[in-house]
Chains A and B, each alone.
Chain A
Amino acid sequence: MMNSRQKSIWVFGDYRNYFQNRVTLQLISRAVDLSRIISAEVCAVILGHEIDEYIMEYTAHGADRIIAVDDPVLKNYNTELYVTLMEALVKERDPDIVLIGATDFGREFAPRMAKRLKTGLSADCVGLDVEADGLLIQTAPSFGGNMLAEIVTSRHRPQMATIRPGTFKEIPHNYERRSLVEKLPLMKNLPRPRIRLVEYERSVEKEHTIENAAVIVCGGRGMGNKKKFKKLNDLAKLLNGDVGATRPVVYAGWADHDALVGQAGKHIKPKILFSFGISGAIQHTAGLGEADFIIAVNKNPQATMMKMADVAIVGDTSDVLHTLIKELRKRIRD
């Protein structure tokens, strides 16, 4: 078989929150690893206006080639325009793989792009590998992160995946690096977008929802009663965290429905999770797949939650909670 065509792995340049969210750099880094296996080039695609800074950054972090379309029309992210542009670029260049960060934008944009190109897409991957023949192995969570699925797109190209931020490590920058920069003009005959951006502003609100909390203190029936349960707020406050709850506790009115964690509620991904008086039923733990470090407190060392924990503290929930709050108050320096 003839194989003269240069294989290529594309990374979509999602730069809107460049300083908070490094997912594009992380993807370039992974693409560099994968490109060695299948001798491909790594190409970052940047659509926007006044994007020279990102051309420089993506080059410094490992891209071999940059395809950039710089035009005032692209000043704000726009799903419809971006899909149309990416469709045209992909059809012209025929990349083997297109990787997109699983940001809110990426998760809205990538499905439409994949559909337009009549190809497959896996969502929110937490692992990527490639076989020698170029088949991309996409590892994605299912059932709230308790299970992982290995997904492939065997018959259609490009192979597309969105990847959860934080999955891969970026390559440290090297501003001496050079890449091949192609600045392309905006396509003619772009369709007029049907969506109007009436207003927008940067916001920090979302950082305060339980899904984004770095620390979560979850309580279950083992807290005993509503009054004792409310004590969890003190610990959460001390740690800049939020309070989560199991279903019986929500039904009993100790906590709001908003706080429900699990299959029927929120999926959380805190750096630290405290779990007080929770047995660890699968419907609850289905929401914990992404918790980094778990401390469970339970009088029963055999509880599933205790087996799942990094640190399992055997004891009475209220006693441990009370002592922990007291000690932390003494030690935390603001």
Chain B
Amino acid sequence: MLKLIVCLKQVPIVTELPWDEQAGTLRRDLASGMMNLACLHALEAALQIKEQYSADILAITMGPPAAEEVLREAIALGADRGIHLCDRIFAGSDTYATSWMLARTIKQECPDYDLILCGSYTSDSETAQVGPQLAEELDLPAAAYIEKLEIHGRTLRVRRLVDNFRETLEMEFPALVTVSLENYKPRYAGLSGLEAAFDTGNIDRLNAADVGINKSAIETDGSRTKVRKVFLRKANKENILLTGTAANVVGDFLSKYESKISWAIGKDIEEDRNDE
């Protein structure tokens, strides 16, 4: 039986705007956070492996108490169990620290894994660094941005498109991949599945001490980078407002910006000579 580990992250909803197609309200259960999209793709890849071979899927997340939701969602979709790494001293970890903490947990809780699957990037920090750094921490062969994977015995074969090269790579288990958004379209959990997952006890919550991490370990192995400040991207836009009939606004727009459009599309746009 294959042992798979999927690393999942809950990403915050940037702002909670009331929104619902019918009722005009925000669904409460979505308000705090959601599973990062690329992580859903990684989970989907694991679920497809499980459908094809016999496999056990362990979902791991590190995050605040609310992050447990992504483990329940994963279990509702077909993961077997979850580990929630949750401790205040983890807050503000950069990718260096995050990958170290995940690696420690994996070494302790599931050292006999065959394959670790991560998302390619998260929508909040967008570093795409945790996967490769986790592989380095565990000294694993790894491939990022994979679109497709096949398993032949103990050999993993992956396909990916990187920097305009279509590559097929092979490596032996244990290995790590980060899954791109190209393939492995995520399935969605039905409400009943979600409810059932809320009743299962298959989620372990571990704190720093449980995985042997204390303040002084964080001093030496923790974050390398520090965010000095966060600020809004400056809008240096002209914000020109065009009003009038469709013919007028389109005419105005094209005469002002045709060179811009022609630059973007790489074709000439000519002044219309025979105006009707």
* Chain A window 307-321, contacts with chain B (Cβ cutoff 8 Å), 1 for yes, 0 for no: 111111111100110
Q: Which of under 10, 10 to 19, 20 to 34, or 35 or more describes the interface residues of B?
A: 35 or more
Q: Say whether A105 contacts B231, CB under 8 Å.
A: no
Residues A58-110 near B (CB distance < 8 A):
79-80, 83, 103-105, 107-110
If A121-B129, A215-B265, A327-B250 touch, whether A282 touches B15 (CB-CB below 8 Å) is: yes
Which of B84-92, B157-165, B198-206 faces chain A? B157-165
Chain B stretch 186-229: residues in CB contact (< 8 A) with chain A = 223-229
Per a CB cutoff under 8 Å, which of B14, B95, B132, B239 touches A312?
B239
Closest to A198 in B: B168
Encode B71-96 as 1/0 by CB contact (under 8 A) with A.
00000000000000000000000111
Our pick among A142, A265, A294 for the contact of B124 (Cβ within 8 Å) is: A142
Q: Is A180 engaged at the interface, CB distance under 8 Å to the other chain?
A: no
Q: Please, what's the 1-or-0 string for B250-276, where 1 marks a CB less than 8 Å from any CB in chain A? A: 110110111011011111111110000
Q: Which residues of A contact B143 (CB under 8 A)?
A: 108, 195
- Check A144 against B123 for contact (C-beta < 8 Å): yes
33-69 of chain B: CB within 8 A of chain A: 34, 37
CB distance from A210 to the nearest CB of B (A): 10
- Kindly state whether residue A54 has any CB partner on chain B within 8 Å: no
Query: With A20-B164, A332-B269 in contact, do A112 and B135 touch (Cβ < 8 Å)?
Result: yes
A side interface size, CB within 8 A: 108
CB closest chain-B residue, reference A310: B237
Q: Could you say which residues of chain A place their CB within 8 Å of the CB of B249?
A: 313-315, 320
Q: Which residue of A121, A201, A240, A289 contacts B265 across the interface (Cβ within 8 Å)?
A: A240
Partner-contacting stretch, out of B1-9, B105-113, B169-177: B169-177
Please report whether the interface of chain B is mostly helix, strand, loop or mixed according to DSSP: mixed
Instruction: Check B269–A104 contact: CB distance below 8 A.
Output: no
* A306 vs chain B, min Cβ distance (A): 8
Q: Which residue of A lies closest to B249 (CB)?
A: A313
Min Cβ gap B63→A in Å is 16
Are B235 and A333 in touch, CB under 8 angstroms? Answer: no
Separation of A324 and B253 alpha carbons in the complex (Å): 9
Contacts of B267 in A (CB 8 A): 240, 332-334
Bound form: Cα–Cα A167–B163 in Å: 18
A103 touches B163 (CB 8 A): yes
Which residues of A have CB within 8 Å of B96?
A: 114-115, 120-121
B142 / chain A contacts, CB cutoff of 8 Å: 79, 112, 195
- Does B31 belong to the interface (CB within 8 Å)? no
* CB–CB B14/A282 < 8 A: yes
Residue A5 CB within 8 A of the other chain:
no
Using a CB–CB cutoff of 8 Å, the interface residues on chain B facing chain A are 11, 13-15, 17, 19, 21, 34, 37, 94-96, 99, 123-133, 135-137, 141-145, 157, 161-172, 181-182, 185, 223-233, 235, 237-243, 246-247, 249-251, 253-254, 256-258, 260-261, 263-272
Task: Name 7 interchain pairs, CB-CB below 8 A, sorted by A.
Answer: A80-B141, A103-B163, A104-B145, A105-B163, A142-B124, A205-B166, A295-B253
| 8 extra interface residue pairs, beta carbon distance < 8 Å, beyond A111-B127, A239-B261 | A112-B136, A147-B231, A148-B230, A151-B225, A155-B224, A201-B165, A207-B164, A332-B269
